Amino acid sequence: MAYGIMFHHFHNDFHPVGQGSLAAAQLEEMLENLQQKQTILPADEWLQRVIEGTLQADHRCLTFDDALLCQYEVALPVLQRRGLTAFWFVYSSVFFGNREWLEIYRHFRSVAFASVDHFYQAFFAATLRLLPQWQERLSSPQASGHLADFAFYSQNDRIFRYLRDELLTTALYDQLMQQLMQQQGYDPAQAARHLWMCDEQLLDLQQQGHLIGLHSFSHPTRLDRLPAAAQQQEYQRNFTHLTHLLGQSPRSMAHPCNAYNQDTLRLLREMGIQLGFRSNRLALPDRTSLEWPREDHIHLLPTAAPAA
């Protein structure tokens, strides 16, 4: 079955190495290998073929989530050299000066600790200082079996995400992270200036033939748990922002953190969105055109493991 390839982070001298991040040369090699066996379609042709129902099993497309500056500065030149276009799924809040902490925290983990496991140790220790009674929960089967669909996560990845996404309230999680950032002398305002693209860069992508699509306004990790009206607002603000900036309405989207439900699919259809992507390859028996599978680029790395 045809599917998309999902990219997130890239590194160079300026953008730090993070979990799963790619250097330009690694992307180049990955695309070279892909193109030997499969066909990477330009983004507009992929969209057209979804509408016509003419995608073939070996067809692939490239997708970049979250409007990250490292994608524009590291990955785009590689695509240009190879004459490829891609989908870029953009959440809007950061274009209005808001900070998206998920991304800032990731940057903090990458630059302030010797490895991601050093960060996890510091985070688990901070959690247990605040909530000593949680010792058992951290070593529970629920924690180590969290996100079982994503084979590339390490044990610590799973426990951390279980804590963050299931146990801690947002306020508590933020409190712990702010504490760690202060301890390490990390300045989030400084970091935020170099994490995301700006208006001109989105316009430049569009002019080069790439397609810009929806990815919600504020990138909630569990959009599926929001009431339908709040979901509507997330996507409507995202849609309005991109339509005003780009002078045309987006027709594609990707579900942030793979989180959606029937309300989401309905409101996206009502907005005229014709193509949507999930964040994994899970084969859904009654998949709609708003649920195309994607392969995480991690699975295309020769080692098939995240670079820490």
Interface residues with Zn ion (CB under 5 A) are 65-66, 256
198 torsion bin: left (phi>0), alpha (psi -120 to 50), beta (else):
beta
- In the bound state with Zn ion, the residue whose beta carbon lies nearer, of 87 and 143, is 87
Q: Dihedral through CA 51, CA 57, CA 59, CA 61, nearest 10?
A: 70
Residue whose token pair is 């500065």: 73
- In the bound state with Zn ion, the residue whose beta carbon lies nearer, of 60 and 106, is 106
- In the bound state with Zn ion, the residue whose beta carbon lies nearer, of 127 and 196, is 196
- The CB-of-9 to Zn ion minimum distance in angstroms stands at 11
- The CB-of-27 to Zn ion minimum distance in angstroms stands at 18
Where does 219-270 have alpha helices with state H? Answer: 228-246, 262-270
- In the bound state with Zn ion, the residue whose beta carbon lies nearer, of 122 and 205, is 205
- The CB-of-254 to Zn ion minimum distance in angstroms stands at 7
**DSSP string computed for 137-174:** HHTSHHHHTTTTT-TT--HHHHHHHHIIIIIS-HHHHH
- The CB-of-66 to Zn ion minimum distance in angstroms stands at 4
Question: What is the H or E stretch that residue 89 is in?
Answer: strand 87-90
Which CA distances in Å does 294 have to 32, 61, 280, 299? 19, 9, 5, 11
- In the bound state with Zn ion, the residue whose beta carbon lies nearer, of 66 and 296, is 66
- The CB-of-63 to Zn ion minimum distance in angstroms stands at 10
